[in-house]
C-alpha cells in the first residue's frame, strides 16, 4: 500500500514537471503570445495589446505566470484554442476516446497475438513459423508505420474493397447499437492492425525467448515430473512468467504507441488526438498542441501506474518485495 502511495506521489511530480516544461516551451518559443492572440482576433493597436496582456496575465512576473499556469492546468483548464473559439480541454475531451480505443485495441492485439505466437514457436523451435518470427520482427520494426498504413489501405480498402479506408463510422450509417458497434469495429480493424503489428513482432520474439527459458527451468520440470498434463504445465505454470516481460515492455512503450497512433490516425483519418494534433499543427494552434502533449504525457503516466499494478497482480514476488 505504501509503495502504491509513493508511486502516486511520483506520478504527481511528473505531471507538474510536464506542466513546467509546457510553460518553458511557450516562453522560449520565438514570437510574443500576445501577438498571436491579437492577430487571431484581428486588429492590433498598442491599447489592445496591453489589454490582451492584462487579460491573459502576460504582464505579470514570470514566477507568478508559472504559478498561475500550473494551478490552472491542475484544475483541468488547458487554455483556449487560438483558432477555434473553444477551450482546449473540450476539444481534447471530444477526441480522446477514439485515440484510447485505437491504442488499446492495438495493444491488446499485439500482446495476445505476440504471446500466442511466442508460446507456439517456443514449443516447436524447428517449425518454419519459428524462423519466420525472427524475420518478421526485423521487418516489422523497420517499416515506417504511416507507410504500412497506406499500403494496407491500397490492398484491403481499394484493391479488394473489403474494409473501409478511413474514418471511424460510415457517413451513411443508420441502425441500432449492435450495427454501430460492428461499423466501428470494421473501421478500427485496419488502423489497429497497422499500429499493433510492429509490437506484435517485438512481443512474439520477446515472449518466445522467455518461454524457452521458462520451459527449461526447474519448476517446469517439477511440474512435469509430478505428472501434470502438458497443457497445464504450459498454460498454467509457464505462461504466467512469459507474460511478465511483455507487460513490462508494453507499459514502457505506451508513449511510443501513442506517437505511432498520431501517424496512424493521420493516415486513416481516425478522429482522435493525433488527427487533432495534425490539424492544430497546420493552423499553428499552440495551446491545443501543448494541451495534447500534456494529456498524452498524462495517459503515459496512468499507463505506467496501471502496468505497475498489473505485475503486482501477476507476480507475487514483487508484492512481497514491496
Partner 1 sequence: MADPMIDVSGAALLDAADDLVAASPGRQALAMFVRNRAAVVGFVLFVLIVFMTLFGPTLYGVDPFKIVWAPHTAPLDTADAAPLLGTDYLGRDVTAGIIGGGRATLTVAAIAAGMSVTIGLVLGSLAGFYGGWVDIVLMKVTEFFQVLPALLFAMVLVTLFEPGVWTIAFAIGVVAWPSTARLTRAEFLRLRNLEFVKAARAMGASDLRIILRVVLPNALPPLIVSTTLVVGVAILFEAGLGFLGLSDPNVWSWGQMIGSNRSYFLTSWWSVTLPGMAIFVTVLSISLIGDGLQDAFNPKLRER
List interacting residues with partner 1 (CB under 8 A). 14, 17-18, 21, 25, 28-30, 138-139, 141-147, 150-151, 154, 158, 252, 255-256, 258-260, 262-263, 266-267, 277-278, 281-282, 284, 286, 289-290, 292-293, 296-297, 300-301, 304
Q: Minimum distance between the CB of residue 142 and partner 1, rounded to whole angstroms?
A: 4
The residue (of 197 and 263) whose beta carbon lies closer to partner 1 is 263
Q: Minimum distance between the CB of residue 259 and partner 1, rounded to whole angstroms?
A: 3
Q: Which of 100, 75, 104 is nearest to 88 (CA)?
A: 75
The residue (of 238 and 297) whose beta carbon lies closer to partner 1 is 297
The residue (of 119 and 264) whose beta carbon lies closer to partner 1 is 264
The residue (of 196 and 260) whose beta carbon lies closer to partner 1 is 260
The residue (of 198 and 234) whose beta carbon lies closer to partner 1 is 198
**SS (HEC) of 17-73:** HHHHHHHHHHHHCCCCHHHHHHHHHCCCCHHHHHHHHHHCCCCCCHHHHHHHHHHHH
CA distance linking residue 223 with residue 208, whole number of Å? 20
CB atoms within 10 A of CB 126: 8
The residue (of 72 and 134) whose beta carbon lies closer to partner 1 is 134
Q: Minimum distance between the CB of residue 126 and partner 1, rounded to whole angstroms?
A: 17
Cell digits for 274? 493525433
Backbone angles phi, psi at 87, to 5 degrees: -70, 145
Q: Minimum distance between the CB of residue 182 and partner 1, rounded to whole angstroms?
A: 27
3-state secondary structure of 1: coil
Q: Minimum distance between the CB of residue 149 and partner 1, rounded to whole angstroms?
A: 10
Q: Minimum distance between the CB of residue 56 and partner 1, rounded to whole angstroms?
A: 18
CA distance linking residue 253 with residue 106, whole number of Å? 12
* 98: enclosing H helix or E strand: helix 88-123
Amino acid at each position: 500500500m505504501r509503495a502504491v502511495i509513493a508511486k502516486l506521489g511520483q506520478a504527481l511530480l511528473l505531471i507538474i514537471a510536464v506542466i513546467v516544461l509546457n510553460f518553458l516551451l511557450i516562453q522560449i518559443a520565438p514570437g510574443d503570445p500576445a501577438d498571436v492572440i491579437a492577430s487571431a482576433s484581428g486588429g492590433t493597436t498598442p491599447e489592445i495589446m496591453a489589454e490582451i496582456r492584462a487579460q491573459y496575465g502576460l504582464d505579470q512576473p514570470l514566477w507568478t505566470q508559472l504559478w498561475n499556469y500550473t494551478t490552472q492546468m491542475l484544475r483541468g483548464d488547458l487554455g483556449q484554442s487560438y483558432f477555434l473559439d473553444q477551450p482546449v480541454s473540450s476539444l481534447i475531451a471530444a477526441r480522446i476516446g477514439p485515440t484510447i480505443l485505437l491504442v488499446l485495441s492495438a495493444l491488446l492485439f499485439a500482446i495476445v497475438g505476440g504471446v500466442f505466437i511466442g508460446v507456439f514457436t517456443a514449443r516447436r523451435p524447428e517449425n518454419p513459423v519459428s524462423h519466420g518470427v525472427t524475420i518478421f520482427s526485423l521487418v516489422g520494426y523497420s517499416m515506417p508505420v504511416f507507410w504500412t498504413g497506406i499500403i494496407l489501405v491500397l490492398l484491403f480498402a481499394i484493391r479488394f474493397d473489403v474494409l473501409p479506408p478511413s474514418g471511424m463510422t460510415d457517413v451513411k450509417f443508420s441502425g441500432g447499437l449492435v450495427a454501430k458497434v460492428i461499423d466501428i469495429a470494421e473501421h478500427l480493424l485496419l488502423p489497429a492492425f497497422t499500429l499493433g503489428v510492429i509490437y506484435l513482432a517485438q512481443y512474439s520474439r520477446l515472449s518466445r525467448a522467455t518461454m524457452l527459458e521458462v520451459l527449461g527451468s526447474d519448476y517446469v520440470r517439477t511440474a512435469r515430473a509430478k505428472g501434470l498434463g502438458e497443457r497445464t504445465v504450459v498454460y498454467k505454470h509457464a505462461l504466467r512468467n512469459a507474460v511478465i516481460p511483455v507487460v513490462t515492455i508494453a507499459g514502457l512503450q505506451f508513449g511510443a504507441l501513442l506517437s505511432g497512433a498520431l501517424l496512424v490516425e493521420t493516415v486513416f483519418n481516425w478522429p482522435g488526438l493525433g488527427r487533432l494534433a495534425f490539424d492544430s499543427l497546420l493552423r499553428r494552434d499552440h495551446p491545443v498542441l501543448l494541451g495534447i502533449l500534456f494529456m498524452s504525457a498524462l495517459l503515459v503516466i496512468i499507463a505506467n501506474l496501471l502496468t505497475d499494478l498489473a505485475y503486482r497482480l501477476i507476480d507475487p514476488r514483487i508484492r512481497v518485495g514491496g
